[in-house]
Amino acid sequence: MLDSTSNKTVAEFFAGIGLMRIGLDRAGWTTTIANDIDPVKRKLYLNHFQNSVDHFVLEDIHKLSGNDIPTVDLATASFPCTDLSLAGRRAGLQGQHSSAFWGFVDILQSMGNRKPPLILLENVAGFLSSNKGQDFNDALIALNQQGYAVDAFTIDAVHFVPQSRVRLFIVGRLVDGPSLKHEEQLLETELRPAKLIEFIDQHPEIHWAINTALPKLPPRNNDLSSVIEKVSKSASIWWSRERVDYLLNQTFERHFSKILALKEKRHYSYLTAFRRVRNGKSMAEIRFDGIAGCLRTPKGGSARQILLEVGNGEINIRLLTPKECARLMGADDFTLTGTANEALFGFGDAVCVPVVSWIADNYLNPEIEKLKQAQNTKQMYAAST
């Protein structure tokens, strides 16, 4: 059911710190309810959206029902990815965390004829291959059973910000009538890589609604240097010389040679690194392409991303700051509060703001306008007969 107001309205599930909301806000949407189970994320959300106390519901999604949800045009769900990745040992949609997806499906079902006409889901690219594709298949079939024809595509945030962050998105459109088969031959694009097209082609039983009119993603036009926060060299967050040397001793020889060459340049270059275990040994893997690696939740030491400032005869090293993480997520104006770890946890678990805005501008907005025009035409016809 469409919201009868003139606004484009959203129910946001797994809201986190609110980056999905920021992205939709920028495209003209209004969030009327937000839900998450994490009190720390709620605190950060409310510190930024200070008018949201009344409509942020801190609760396990399995304890909510359709009666708790207002009529909206769109429902979003960035459900936990833990069990869909190697970190979660591929437990899949039956895992402790990612099984929250079924709570979202239950809410849609219990909304009855008030189901939102559009839904948007987001997760890691590994969702496509989790349990050899069975989890993705089960999720899409479940959405079909709720009346949604589905589309899927991937977007790397690197098109918008200097961060490599590939995510899989699902758009569902509420439809009437029997299931239709997708028969059009799809071409491989950045939005739909070969593995995704192969999945679509191999699952004709799924009710697809593939949008082939989406534009190309914008070309990359950013660099890590654009997000770097100016931090005094006397600040305690810079590593000691001993700690710097320890990290450099953990780099691959080819990486170390590149770092030494950059050190002699008359300007600073900015590199990022993660610690990885390779053959039982802790190694520092360096990126030299001006792009940060994918931000993660800082649950362990290896999850914190390292910044190297190299040049002018210096090698300076520290961890990325919360402000830099906000910029890497396209949330430059996010109100930073709480501890650094709380902020980093919130950003590492979030969606990239300009990616969401691009989806809204190029997909959701045209879809909802078509649906509202069709509803107005139907109402005018009914009134004239």
**pLDDT band at residue 380 under the 50/70/90 scheme:** low
Q: Are residues 201 and 67 in the same domain?
A: yes
- Are the CB atoms for 66 and 3 separated by under 8 Å? no
Q: Are residues 142 and 22 in the same domain?
A: yes
Percent of the chain's residues with pLDDT above 70? 90
Supply the CATH number for residue 37's domain. 3.40.50.150
Please give the C-alpha separations between residue 176 and each of 173, 207, 210, 379, in angstroms, as whole numbers: 10, 12, 16, 17
Q: Are residues 155 and 54 in the same domain?
A: yes
The domain total for the chain is 2
Q: Are residues 202 and 112 in the same domain?
A: yes
Q: Are residues 313 and 169 in the same domain?
A: no
Parent domain of 54: 8-218+352-384
pTM beyond 0.85: the answer is: yes
Q: Is residue 3 part of a domain?
A: no
Q: Are residues 281 and 362 in the same domain?
A: no
Q: Are residues 368 and 305 in the same domain?
A: no
Q: Is residue 13 part of a domain?
A: yes
Mean pLDDT rounded to a whole number for the chain: 90
Give per-residue pLDDT as tens, 34-69.
999 999 999 999 999 988 888 999 999 999 999 999
Q: Are residues 60 and 160 in the same domain?
A: yes
Q: Is residue 347 part of a domain?
A: no
The pLDDT of residue 94: 57
